[in-house]
């Protein structure tokens, strides 16, 4: 679902990294230390570049910090790498996920084709070469693999995926298990979600996330449930690495959102309630797919 990262706060990502290191954090009021991460003594200037991945295409990659393992941030549907630099309160931007994780270890984020961000000067499109849309999760995971292989960034990686980015992470991990040191799924979009909605509600949810409904331009990143969810269901194994599942505990669509009049008429309170119930159940099912996963449900966060 195309929303800003409200759940992926530095505190939660820091806690997730600590859990991955074997140091389970019980105090989420501050970013805990992660002993297996080599904290940078001096964070170098941001390293942003276009990485050639073949076929005349490039992928935009930005990294900072030093240490190991490298954390790779994978944004949600339609969102550029910049999304990890944002916070819900602009005054706390210095403590956004990207710079904060960069104080712990090496961290990278990238633009998938068709993504965008909105700044004070307006909409800015992806800095990666466009591809035909809609695309697939497997294609996005293939692009991630090609970019990391060509980038010179050292693996194995801790992969952090928000929403649709969680699907890309899971597909990458299944195809490249030796390149994965850990997985953090940040309110990841689960293939179990539509199974708990009526066919009409599932179709409305897909329509709500379409570029046309959201006012995104032609060529914007788009995916279809009937393409991506079968890809996820076809995964037969995942790497035996630590996994943290972070689940939002605030409804995807609030009563205030509905009352604003900015949503389509089919987004009623009945729809919102059904979506929220399905989302919670789908997150539980997602966590069960990783038997040893730490499932964090008290997050005080939205999607």
**CATH code of 42's domain:** 3.40.50.1820
| Average of per-residue pLDDT values in the chain | 86
Q: Could you tell me if residue 268 is inside a domain?
A: yes
> Is the preceding peptide bond at 27 cis, omega within 30 degrees of 0?
no
Over residues 170-186, the pLDDT tens digits come to 999 999 999 999 999 99
Between residues 11 and 242, which one has the greater pLDDT? 242
Calculate mean pLDDT across residues 195-211: 95
Q: Could you tell me if residue 1 is inside a domain?
A: no
How many other C-beta atoms can be found within 10 angstroms of the C-beta atom of residue 268?
14
Q: Could you tell me if residue 5 is inside a domain?
A: no
Q: Which of 142, 126, 136, 114 is nearest to 55 (CA)?
A: 142
Q: Could you tell me if residue 93 is inside a domain?
A: yes
In DSSP terms, 99 is beta-bridged to none
Own/partner pairs, 277-280, CB within 8 angstroms, 24+ separation? 277/196, 278/193, 278/194, 278/196, 278/197, 279/193, 279/248, 279/252, 280/247
Calculate mean pLDDT across residues 203-219: 91
Calculate mean pLDDT across residues 265-281: 96
pLDDT band at 42 (very low <50, low <70, confident <90, very high): very low
pLDDT on residue 45? 44
Over residues 230-267, the pLDDT tens digits come to 999 999 999 999 999 999 999 999 999 999 999 999 99
Q: Could you tell me if residue 2 is inside a domain?
A: no
**How large a percentage of the chain has pLDDT more than 90?**
72
DSSP 83-148: GGG--SSGGGGGGSHHHHHTTTS-EEEEPPTT-EEEETTEEEE-SSPP--SS--HHHHHHHHHHHH
Q: How far apart are the first and last CA of the chain?
A: 8
Calculate mean pLDDT across residues 145-150: 98
Calculate mean pLDDT across residues 188-204: 96
Calculate mean pLDDT across residues 100-118: 94
Q: Is the pLDDT of residue 8 over 90?
A: no
Q: Is the pLDDT of residue 120 over 80?
A: no
pLDDT on residue 12? 58
Q: Is the pLDDT of residue 9 over 70?
A: no
Query: For the chain, what is the domain count?
Result: 1
pLDDT on residue 30? 29
Q: Could you tell me if residue 3 is inside a domain?
A: no
Q: Could you tell me if residue 303 is inside a domain?
A: no
Q: Which domain holds residue 71?
A: 10-296
Could you tell me if 64 and 46 are in contact, meaning their C-beta atoms sit under 8 angstroms apart? Answer: yes
pLDDT band at 15 (very low <50, low <70, confident <90, very high): low
């Amino acid at each position: 679902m195309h929303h800003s990262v409200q759940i992926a706060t530095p505190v939660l990502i820091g806690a997730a990294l600590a859990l991955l290191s074997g140091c389970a954090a019980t105090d989420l009021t501050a970013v805990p230390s992660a002993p297996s991460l080599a904290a940078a003594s001096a964070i170098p200037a941001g390293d942003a570049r276009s990485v050639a991945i073949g076929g005349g295409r490039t992928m935009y990659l930005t990294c900072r910090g030093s240490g190991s393992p490298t954390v790779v941030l994978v944004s949600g549907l339609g969102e550029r790498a910049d999304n990890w630099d944002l916070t819900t309160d602009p005054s706390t931007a210095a403590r956004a996920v990207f710079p904060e994780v960069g104080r712990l270890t090496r961290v990278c984020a990238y633009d998938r084709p068709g993504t965008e961000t909105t700044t004070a000067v307006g909409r800015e499109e992806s800095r990666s070469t466009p591809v035909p849309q809609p695309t697939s999760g497997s294609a996005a995971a293939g692009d991630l693999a090609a970019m990391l292989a060509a980038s010179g960034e050292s693996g194995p990686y801790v992969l952090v995926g928000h929403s649709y980015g969680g699907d890309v992470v899971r597909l990458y991990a299944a195809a490249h298990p030796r390149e994965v040191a850990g997985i953090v799924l940040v309110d990841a979009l689960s293939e179990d979600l539509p199974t708990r909605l009526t066919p009409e509600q599932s179709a409305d949810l897909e329509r709500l996330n379409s570029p046309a409904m959201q006012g995104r331009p032609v060529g914007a990143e788009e995916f279809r449930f009937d393409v991506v969810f079968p890809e996820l269901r076809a995964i037969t194994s995942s790497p035996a690495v630590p996994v943290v599942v972070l689940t939002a505990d605030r409804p995807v669509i609030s009563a205030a959102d509905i009352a604003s009049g900015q949503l389509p008429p089919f987004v009623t309170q009945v729809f919102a309630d059904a979506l929220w119930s399905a989302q919670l159940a789908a997150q539980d099912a997602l966590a069960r797919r990783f038997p040893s996963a730490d499932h964090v449900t008290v997050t005080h966060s939205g999607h």
